[in-house]
Structure formats: structure tokens, C-alpha cells
Amino acid sequence: MGVTMKGPCERPGENEDQREEVIAPAGCFAGVPEADKDSEADSDSDLETEGIHGLREPIRDALHVGSCRAYSIVPTMYFLNQGCAPELKLRHRGLGPQGAWALASMLTSNPYIKRLDLQDNGLCAAGAEALAYVLSKNSSICDVDLSENQIGVAGAQALCAALKVNQAVQKIQLAGNSLEEKAAQYLAELLLVHTGLKSLDVSYNQLNDQAGETLGPALAENTGLTELNISWNHLRGPGAIVFARGLEANIFLKVLDISFNGFGDSGASAVGEALKANNVLEELNMSNNRISAMGARHLGLGLRVNQTLRILVDMQVNREFDDLASSVKVILPGLCIKTGAPRVNYKKELLPVFRPPPPASALK
């Protein structure tokens, strides 16, 4: 799909009435000739064959093309060839907000797609609102990847509101979306009510210590999440301590990645205390958190008591921590401690124009 020459995060010009006309429910096929509408309405057997919410491929394609025309978008052949595949993967296509609204016309009524991957499409807040509309209507989609779309606080608010209404989504990835302190409130509200959400990725954002203070109590009360990635944020100080206290009370989380934050010694001590009470967590990554030998010692005191943790990824350590780790492994021989973990290469490569020039010797 291509987009018209607008700003990367500019909202579509259509008003809400025009959007509702384009995103018509199944049975009101925007952009479909009248003859097709009539034949579809008269064909009960076809509806029974495809399911009451299903669209035959010609109708679905016509609906998609009509929506693209309404938003001045070039239809993508990949989507038209999608058929009944359970995954729609459109990464790095430059869809933008208008492309998201064009897709919404089909996605709201498609019973086949289970996984939606729109990573790195410049969706911004307006595009997130389009996908929120889809997720509020479609209960078939259970896995969503909207990483690197700069949806911001407004986009997070729209998505969380939709997921509170329709709780079919079990996994959502929101990494690299400029989520700041205000977004934490919407995420916390989601964690309190969406018991079906199993995996949440909010890494590579700007969630700060105040966000930690907001998310900690929600994590303590959450009764469904089993995997949380909040690495590469700014959890530190009191926020890191409150967040760790949430881990102490949580009885469902099994995998937690809090690496590349700023927990420091006080945060490490709080995590150590949490591990004394937590009897569910199995994997913990807290590498690169400015933790000294003193903080590691407090963490180790928690490890001595904890009976469920199998994998701990820690920072580059010194001899003192090695000795401490050895003593802990006497008590917990099954514990795997990984030190000096390399950074995960999450960010996509820069375009060639931004790469540094090769050395002069290489050009000879």
C-alpha cells in the first residue's frame, strides 16, 4: 500500500460519518456494486457456508478496493491474495493512518485472521484508533503486533479502551511507540480488567518512574498476564521499587524482562524482597540496571528463598557476585544465571543513506 503525500502522523481528512460509511459492517458492502449486494442478501446458503460474519473473497476484495479508493490508497496485492490465511503480516509498508482505516473495513468482519502484524507502518495515533475500532468489533484476532508505529498516548488510550471491551486478544506488542507516563494509566486499567491477556510487550518506550508507580499496583492485581517485557524504559527510583512490590504480589507472571532500565541497588533490593514471596516467576532478565555488588547481594538473598526461578539474566559481575551465585546454586542447583548478556538487536537497520561512509581504504 502507498499513501498520499501527507504528514506521517496526520489524521485522515474524513469525518466520523464518512468513516462509518467506509467501514460498513458485513452486509453493507461499501464500494460493492448494487447487483453484488442484492445477490449476497439473497444467498442464505452462502452465508451458512462461510459463516454469518464471513465475506466471500470477491466481496471482501471489492470492499477493500472500495475502501482504498475512498482514502486515496493503492490496494496491496499481498492483501488481495490473503484468502483465508490466519495471519496478516504487513510490515514496513508505509500504511500510515489512512492505510489503517482502509484496512479496517475488511478486518472488522474477517473471521479468519488470528494474528495481525503491522509493525513499522507509521500508524501514529490515528492509525491506532482505526485498529482499536477493529479490535472492539472482531473477536477472532488474538495476537497483535503494532511495534514501532509511534502511536503515542492517544493511540494507547484507544487500543486499551477497545481491549477492555473485547477481551479476545491474548498477546499484544507495543514496543517502540513513544509511550510515556500518561500511557501507563491506560495500560494499568487494561491489566486490571483484561484477564485473558497473556503477553504484553511495551519495551523501547519512555515509561518513567511515575509510570512504574502506576503499573506496580496493577501488576499486583493482574490475574492473567504470564509474560511482560518492559525493557529499555526509564523505571528507576521509587517507581522501580513500587513496580517490584507489584511483582511480589503477582501470582501469574512467569517471564519478566526489566533489563535496560535504572533499577539500581534500591530496585534490586526490592526485587530481591519480591522473590522471597513470589512463587510463580520462572524467568527474570534484569541486566544493565546500574546494580552494584551491594544490590546484587540483596538480590541474592531473595534467590536463596525463591523456589521457582529457573533463569536469571544479570549484568556483568565481579568476583563477589560469582561467589554469591555459587552459594545460591548450592541451594538451587537448577537455577541458570546468565551474566554479561549482550544487548538484544531490536531496532531495525538504518536505511543506506544514514549509514556511515566506508573507510577510504575500502574505496581503493
Q: Strand pairing of 199-201 and 336-338?
A: unpaired
CATH number at 86-343:
3.80.10.10
Reported as a single tens digit per residue, the pLDDT across 5-37 is 345 575 555 444 445 444 443 322 222 233 333
Q: Which residue has the higher pLDDT, 75 or 313?
A: 313
Q: How many CB atoms lie within 10 A of CB 42?
A: 9
> What is the value of pTM for the model shown?
0.76
Average pLDDT over residues 113-132: 97
- Residue 248 region, left (φ>0) first, then alpha (ψ -120 to 50), else beta? alpha
- In DSSP terms, 337 is beta-bridged to 312
Residue 291: pLDDT band (50, 70, 90) is very high
The label of the residue with cell 543513506 reads 353
| Cell digits of residue 36 | 453484488
Q: What's the pLDDT score for residue 105?
A: 81
Could you please report the per-residue DSSP string of 236-262? BHHHHHHHHHHHHH-SS--EEE--SSB
Average pLDDT over residues 230-249: 97
Could you please report the per-residue DSSP string of 32-68? --HHHHHHHHH-HHHHHHH-TT---HHHHHHHHHHHH
**Domain definitions of the chain by residue range:** 86-343
Report the chain's mean pLDDT, rounded to a whole number. Answer: 79
Reported as a single tens digit per residue, the pLDDT across 91-122 is 999 999 999 998 988 888 889 999 999 999 99
The pLDDT of residue 41 is above 90: no
- In DSSP terms, 172 is beta-bridged to 144, 200
E strand map for 202-307: 227-229, 255-257, 283-285
